[in-house]
Amino acid sequence: MRILLTGAAGFIGTATWRELVRAGHEVVAVDLVIPEAHGRATRDDPPPALHVLDVREAAGWADLFQGVDAVVHLAAMVGAGATAADLPLYAGHNDLGTAAVLAAMHAEGVSRVVQASSMVVYGEGSYTCPEHGGQAPGPRTDASLGGGEFDNPCPVCGGPLDWALVGEDAPLDPRSSYAVSKVAQEGYASAWVRQAPGAAVSLRYHNVYGPGMPRDTPYSGVAAMFRSSLERGAPPTVFEDGRQMRDFVHVDDVARANRAAVEAVVGHDVGSHRAYNVCSGHPIAIADVARHVAAGSGRGLEPRVTGQYRIGDVRHVVASPVRAAAELGFTAEVLPEDGLAAFATAPLRA
C-alpha cells in the first residue's frame, strides 16, 4: 500500500515508518518538526524525502495524496498542557490539524485513516468494590491524599476500590488540554466516516516508552524521568505509595499496532469508526517501573517512595487488550520488565 504518515519524524512516527517500510509499504512521510515534540534539534535520521509541512495546511497537499490508500495520522501536540493558556496550541495542532487532514482526504478521494488517540481520554480507570461491584469514584481530596489515603474509596461503603481493566466502551472523561483534544480527534473521525464516507480507527496508546524517546519534551514520561534521576546519580522518586497501576507499552509494539490497524482499516466498511487500546496487556505498579529502570541502569540505586502526590493524578488506569487482539490481531511482544530494563541504557533523542 501507499500510506501517508503524519508525524513521521517523531518518537512513535519514526518507529512506525520503519515498521511500515519493513512490511513492504510505500510511505509518504510528513512532519512539521515542532520543538514541542522534537526538542531543540531535528532528528538525526529523518525518513528519506521527509516533507516538512503543517497538518493544518493539508488542503494544499493534493500531490502527496495521489495514489494514497490510507493515512496514518500521528502528528500532534503532546503532554498534558501546563496551563489553560496552552488550550489554543492543542486546539490548533490537534483539533484543527485533524479536521484539515480529514477534509483534505475527502477532497482527494482517500477514505481510510488510522489516528493516534490516548489512554488519557478515559480520565480515571475502571474500579470495583469487593462488596458493591463496579463503581465510579469521585475525585481524591487533598485531605485524603495528604493523610496517605491514596486508594479511591467506594462511594457506597467507603472501602478501598480495586482496579479493573478499562475497555474501549468505557465513558470518556478528559482532564487536560491534551485529553480534550484527543476526544475531539475521535469525534471528528466519527463524523467524517459518515459524511465522507470513510473508515477510521483511533488507537488509544497507553504509556509509550523505548529507544528514540526525547529527553526533555512532553513525551518524557515517568520512565524517562526515572532514567534521568539515575543518570544524575540520584534514586528515582516515586509519588504516592508506588502502587498506582499503569500499562507501559514499548514503542516497537506501538509501531506494530499501527501497521496492523492500517492493514485492517482498508477492509473496513465505510461509515465505521472503531477505537482500540494499544497496551502491553501486563499491568505494572509505578514503583516496579522505577525498579526495572534502576536495575537496568546498573547503578545500584533503589527507588525512593515519597508519599508525595499531585492533585488531579489518577490512581489507576489499565487497559484491556482484548479488542485489539480479536479484531486487529495485535498482541504486544515486549514484556514491561524486559523493555523497561533495556530502556535504562537505550539511546534517546537530544
Instruction: Using the Cα atoms of residue 213, residue 24, residue 100 and residue 269 in order, give the sign of their dihedral.
Output: negative
Distance CA(257)–CA(207), nearest Å, equals 14
> Distance between CA atoms of 297 and 303, rounded to whole angstroms?
12
Q: What is the mean pLDDT of residues 284-310?
A: 97
**In the predicted structure, residue 269 carries a pLDDT above the cut 60:** yes
Q: What is residue 38's predicted lDDT score, i.e. its pLDDT? A: 65
Whether 148 has a pLDDT exceeding 90, the answer reads yes
Q: CA–CA separation, 219 vs 294, rounded Å?
A: 20
pLDDT in tens, 115-136: 999 999 999 899 999 999 999 9
pLDDT tens, residue by residue, 80-117: 555 778 888 889 999 999 999 999 999 999 999 999 99
Query: What is the pLDDT confidence band of residue 220, given thresholds at 50, 70 and 90?
Result: low
Name the nearest CA neighbour of 136 among 146, 144, 124, 151. 124
Q: Which residues contact 165 (CB under 8 A, 6 or more apart)?
A: 126, 283, 318, 319, 320
pLDDT band at 166 (very low <50, low <70, confident <90, very high): very high
| Alpha carbons 21 and 346: distance in angstroms, whole number | 23
The pLDDT value given to residue 349: 82
> How far apart (Å, rounded) are the C-alpha atoms in residues 294 and 300?
7
pTM score, whole prediction: 0.95
Nearest to 95 by CA among 71, 113, 77, 114: 77
Q: Is the pLDDT of residue 218 over 60?
A: no
Phi, psi (deg, nearest 5) at residue 168: -65, -15
Q: From its phi and psi, is residue 255 left (phi > 0), alpha (psi between -120 and 50) or beta? A: alpha
